[in-house]
Amino acid sequence: MDIKETIIKAIKDSGKPLRTGEIVEKTRLVKKDVDKAIKKMKEEGVLNSPKRCFVDIKR
């Protein structure tokens, strides 16, 4: 499973928007890598920010 799939799974499993730190905690990935992946996923339209500092899967 790649980093993007891991992030999506963590958000789906939680059932709510997560902060980057929570994603890092749940996935045990490196924060820098998570930040880069989230930024790219937002640009691609996969994720959005329902409120500041939180990310969620775009529905």
What gap in Å lies between CA 19 and CA 26, rounded to an integer? 11
Q: What is the CATH number of the domain that holds 8?
A: 1.10.10.10
Distances from the Cα of 57 to the Cα of 37, 38, angstroms? 13, 11
Supply the range of the domain harboring residue 28.
3-57
1-59 pLDDT per residue, tens = 899 999 999 999 999 999 999 999 999 999 999 999 999 999 999 999 999 999 999 97
**What pLDDT sits at residue 46?**
97
> What local confidence, expressed as pLDDT, does residue 12 receive?
97
Is the dihedral angle over the CA atoms 33, 36, 39, 41 positive or is it negative?
negative
What's this model's pTM, rounded to 2 decimal places? 0.92
Domain count, the chain: 1
